[in-house]
Amino acid sequence: MAQKRKAQEAFSAPKGQLSAFAAAKLARSAPASSRTPEDDLGEINDGTATSFDATAEPHMDSDRARYLIEEQLHELISVPPPKPAPAQLSSFRPSQHNVSRDDDNCLEVTLHNDETVTVVGEYELTVTSGVATVYGTVLRASSGEQYIYAPSTQALPQIQARLDGTSIRLSSANSGIRKLGKLSPLFRNIWALEPKGRSFALLGSTADDELQRTFSALEVDDNTDTVLHTLTVKSNVSKPPKPRIMAVGAKSSGKSTSNRLLCNKILSWTPIHKCYYLDIDPGQPEFGPPGIISLVEVAVPLLGPTFTHPASPLSPDHMVVYKHAIAASSFKDDPEHYKACVLDLAKHVDKRYPLIINSCGWVAGLGASVLADLAQDLDVSDIIVMEPVDSSLAESFQQCTPSVALHRIARRPPRPSARTPAEQRAMQTMAYFHSKHIAVEDAHLRWSGKPISRVRPWVVSYAGDTPDIIAVMSYGQNPTPEFLCEVLDGAIVAINEVDEEAALDLSERTDRTPEGLPFVASDHHGISPTLPPSQSNCLGLALVRGIDTENKQLHLVTPIPENHVENLAERKIVLVRGSFDPPEWAYLEDLYKDDVGPAQSERPWVSKKGLVGVEGAVWRLRHPPMVKDLVQGRR
C-alpha cells in the first residue's frame, strides 16, 4: 500500500522547473528591482525552447523574468510546425508527349491505362477517345460533355483511364456558382486558383495548391467496389420489380458518397439509363435544401456535392417527382408524420427502375426503430451497412424483412472536412435559393450572384376576398398568435399545395392573428397539426423577406420557376414554418458583397416601408417588368 504524502510535501512550494505561463504569473507577483534584463543576458540558456526555472532565483526581478519568458515564448512561436509530406493526388505527369493542348480555356491530355488525373474547380470533361471513369461513371467518346463540380470541401473525384491512349479534354465552365463566394465566406477559396485563369486546376499532389488547402482524392477501396458492383449487376439483370437499395450508417460514414457512386454505376451500366432516388435524410439531403424529403428521377450522373445539383420539376437531369416538407433537419419531433411522408413518396416509384434510398444518420434509439420500420414498409431488397453499426440494428433488419440482403462496408477513416455539418447545410440552402432553373432546354443549372436583399419578392396576399394562401402552419413548436408575425418575418417557410378536401378542413380550423395572418392553432393536447401527405405536395421553400401588415401581404423570395409561381393562384397554398435553420447567410450577404457600400440601418426583411418603382409583383398576376423592358419602353 502506497504511503500518504506528508503535509509538507503536499503543500510546500513546488520545486524544479515551471512552465512559461506559471513563471509569468510568478513574475507578476515578484517585487520590483532596479536590475535590468541586460544585466542577465549572460544567464540566458543556449536558445533551446525549454521551460524556465523560476525557483532558481527566489528574488528574481519581475522585468528580468518577463524578458526571459517572452524570449522563450518567441522561440516557441517562431518555430514553424512541421509540414506534412505532400500527398500524391494524380499519377499523370504532364509532358510534351502527353499534352496536346494547354491554353487559357482548355487542357487536352492522353493517358495510359489506370493513369489518374485529379482536378479542383468546375469544368466540363469530354472523353475524345478511349474509356475513362470518374465518380463511378463510365465515359466514352459517345458520352458527350460531363459537367463536374470539384470544390476543395469534398474529396476530389479522380479521372481514371481504362484503356491505353485514352484522351480527355478539360474545358473551363461558368455556372455562376463561384459568384456565391462574394456573398459568403463559406463559398470562398474552395475552387481553383489557376494562373491561366481557367476554372479548374490539375493537381499532381497537395503541394501544387498555392493556397495550401487540405485535399484528398476520392478513392474507392476493394470492399466498397465489390459491393457496388454486385448491386449494379443485380439492378441490371433482374426483372421488375427492380431492387430497392438502402444505405444505413452513422453520420459521416460515407452513405451519401456510396449512394452517389452506386447511382452513377447503375446509370452507366443499365440500358434504360434511369433510376429513382428516395431522398429521405432531412438533415443532409442529396437533391434539395435541408428540411425537405423527395423522390427524384435521376437521368444523368451525380458529379458534384449536394449543393451543385438541386432537383427541379423542370430539370431533365434530376427531376422532382414529389416532395414533402419535414420543416426540420430531424424527424425527432414527429416520427409518425415523417414515416407517413416517406411511404407516400414511395407510392410514386416506378417499379421498372432501381430505387436508391438515402437514409438519415440516426442509427440509435428512435432513429434505429424508424429505419427498421421503413425497411420493412418500403420492401427493401438490399441494405448497405456502413460500419460500425450496432449488431442489434442489423438483426432487426433481418427480422423485419427476412428476404433482405445485407452488404457490409468497412468504415474508412474520416476525411478532414473544411466545413462543419451546420455550415454544409447553410451552403446547401444558400445555393438552393440562388439557383436558377431557366428552361427545360437549358442543359446546366445556373446560379445568381445577386444578394437575396436585392431580389424582387413575390407579393402574396393573406387576407381579403381572394387571398393567395389558406393558412400558415407551424410544425414543432407553435408560437402564440401574438408572436407569429414576428417569428415569421425573415424566416424560411415551405410552400405546400393541398387538395380541396384538405383545404376545406383547414379553413374550418383557421384563426387570425392580430395582424390578420391565418393560422392553424395546436389542438387541445398542445400538438401542432401537420398536413396529410396524401393530400399535399411541397413545391419548394421561400424566405419571408417582409410582412406588409397594412396591405395584408407577405413578400416572399423563392427559387421556384416563375411560370410555376404564376400558377399558384389557381391552387390551394399553405405555408409551413418549423425548425429550419435560421438563414443567417441571407442576413449577411450584403455585408460580404465586395462592391456594397456602408450597411444600411434598416434591413429588407424587417422593413415596413412601401414598395418603390417596379419592385413587388403579385404572384397571381405577373412578375414585375425587367429593367431592360423599361428601357425599351422609353425608346
Helical (H) or strand (E) element with 128: strand 116-129
Residue 593: per-residue pLDDT: 86
Residue 85: per-residue pLDDT: 80
Mean pLDDT of 285-293: 96
Distance CA 447, CA 176 (A): 5
DSSP state of 196: T
Cis check: omega of the bond before 388, within 30 degrees of 0: yes
Weakest-pLDDT range from 40-49, 72-81, 155-164: 40-49
Contact 168, 117 (CB under 8 A): yes
Distance CA 107, CA 101 (A): 5
Residue 15: per-residue pLDDT: 46
Binning pLDDT at 50, 70 and 90, where does residue 307 land?
Answer: very high
User: How does the average pLDDT of the chain come out, rounded?
Assistant: 83
Mean pLDDT of 464-473: 92
Residue 621: per-residue pLDDT: 35
Give CA angle at 468 (462, 473), nearest 5°: 60
The radius of gyration of the chain's CA atoms, rounded to the nearest angstrom, is 30
Contact 602, 586 (CB under 8 A): no
Binning pLDDT at 50, 70 and 90, where does residue 289 land?
Answer: very high
Mean pLDDT of 288-302: 96
pLDDT of 194 over the 80 cut: no
> In the chain, what is the straight-line distance between the N-terminal and C-terminal CA atoms, in Å?
101
Residue 9: per-residue pLDDT: 46
Q: Cell numbers at residue 424, please?
A: 454544409
Contact 293, 168 (CB under 8 A): no
Binning pLDDT at 50, 70 and 90, where does residue 182 land?
Answer: very high
Q: Cell numbers at residue 493, please?
A: 417557410
Higher confidence at residue 403 or residue 530?
Answer: 530
pLDDT of 346 over the 60 cut: yes
Distance CA 530, CA 368 (A): 23
pLDDT of 56 over the 60 cut: no
**Taking Cα atoms as reference points, which of 511, 509, 518, 424 lies closest to residue 471?**
518
SS (H, E, C) 435-461: EECCCCCCCCCEECCCCHHHCCCEEEE
Distance CA 276, CA 295 (A): 7
Weakest-pLDDT range from 389-403, 498-512, 513-527, 605-619: 605-619
Distance CA 356, CA 114 (A): 29
Query: Which amino acid, one-letter code, is at 194?
Result: E
DSSP of 270-337, one letter per residue?
Answer: -TT--EEEEE--SSS-SSS-TTEEEEEEE-S---S-GGG---BTT-SSEEEEEEEE--SS--TT-HHH
pLDDT tens, position by position, 350-400: 999 999 999 998 888 899 999 999 999 999 999 999 888 877 888 888 887
Contact 585, 430 (CB under 8 A): yes
Q: Give the pairing type, strands 382-386 and 244-249.
A: parallel
Query: Which amino acid, one-letter code, is at 360?
Result: C
Distance CA 90, CA 215 (A): 12
Distance CA 498, CA 537 (A): 7
Q: Cell numbers at residue 211, please?
A: 493556397
DSSP state of 635: -
pLDDT tens, position by position, 1-11: 445 444 444 44
Specify whether domain 99-218 bears CATH 2.60.120.1030: yes
Distance CA 156, CA 135 (A): 9
Q: Cell numbers at residue 459, please?
A: 407579393
Cα 577–chain centre separation: 20
pLDDT of 17 over the 90 cut: no
Contact 361, 330 (CB under 8 A): no
Q: Give the pairing type, strands 617-618 and 458-461.
A: parallel
**DSSP three-state, residue 609:** coil
Phi-psi region of 50 (alpha: psi -120 to 50; beta: other; left: phi over 0): beta
Q: Which residues pair with 511 in a beta bridge?
A: 519
DSSP of 20-57, one letter per residue?
Answer: HHHHHHHHHHSPP-S--GGGGGGGS-SS----B-TTSS
Percentage, residues of the chain above pLDDT 90: 59
Distance CA 17, CA 388 (A): 45
Residue 45: per-residue pLDDT: 44
- Domains 99-218 and 222-430 agree in fold: no
Query: What torsion, rounded to 10 degrees, do the Cα atoms 276, 278, 283, 289 define?
Result: 50
**How many other CB atoms are there within 10 angstroms of residue 95's CB atom?**
8
- The residues near 17 (Cβ < 8 Å, ≥ 6 apart) are 50, 51, 52, 53, 54
Binning pLDDT at 50, 70 and 90, where does residue 137 land?
Answer: very high
Entry pTM: 0.81
Contact 619, 628 (CB under 8 A): no
Residue 210: per-residue pLDDT: 85
Q: Give the pairing type, strands 244-249 and 106-111.
A: unpaired
Residue 439: per-residue pLDDT: 52
Contact 162, 131 (CB under 8 A): yes
Residue 77: per-residue pLDDT: 63
Tell me the residue ranges of DSSP E strands in 156-243: 156-161, 166-172, 200-202, 217-218
Cα 177–chain centre separation: 14
Instruction: Tell me phi and psi for residue 176, to 5 degrees.
Output: 95, -5
> Where are the chain's structural domains?
19-78, 99-218, 222-430, 449-618
Residue 264: per-residue pLDDT: 96
pLDDT of 271 over the 90 cut: no
- Distance (Å) of CA 567 to CA 395, 537, 571, 619: 49, 15, 7, 8
**How many other CB atoms are there within 10 angstroms of residue 465's CB atom?**
5
DSSP state of 179: G
Fold held by 222-430: Rossmann fold (3.40.50)
